């Protein structure tokens, strides 16, 4: 519901198992962005060694607010993610070096 409210298409989206990214026919990842510090610490090595960064957001399920407050927080989080992703796409389109993008990607965690 929060994704739709933020204007993000959800049709056909689903959670994916790690094994889907390790197959021979899997798309090559250039960037991997973790949204949860706990999960990010325990992730296995990504094939192809993509640039990784942590943009840590508190888990919505751990919030002790009512449904309305959690919904508002979810929308704020999605808008924050959208802003960061738009900035990343803009930087990538300018042809920056991979090492510069890595620093920028990690710096975006502090926006």
Average pLDDT estimate for 14-31:
80
pLDDT for residue 14: 84
Check whether 101 has a pLDDT greater than 80. no
Beta carbons of 63 and 57 less than 8 angstroms apart = no
Indicate the number of domains in the chain: 1
Between CA 86 and CA 65 the distance in angstroms is 29
Query: Model-level pTM greater than 0.85?
Result: no
| Domain containing residue 17 | 2-110
pLDDT band at 2 (very low <50, low <70, confident <90, very high): low
């Amino acid at each position: 519901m929060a994704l739709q409210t933020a204007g993000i298409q959800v049709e056909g989206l689903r959670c994916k198992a790690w094994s889907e990214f390790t197959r021979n026919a899997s798309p090559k990842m250039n960037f991997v962005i973790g949204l949860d510090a706990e999960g990010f610490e325990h992730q296995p090595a990504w094939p192809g060694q993509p640039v990784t960064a942590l943009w840590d957001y508190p888990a919505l399920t751990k919030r002790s607010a009512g449904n309305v407050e959690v919904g508002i927080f979810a929308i704020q989080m999605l808008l924050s993610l959208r802003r960061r992703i738009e900035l990343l796409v803009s930087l990538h389109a300018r042809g920056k070096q991979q090492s510069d993008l890595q620093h920028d990607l990690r710096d975006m965690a502090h926006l």
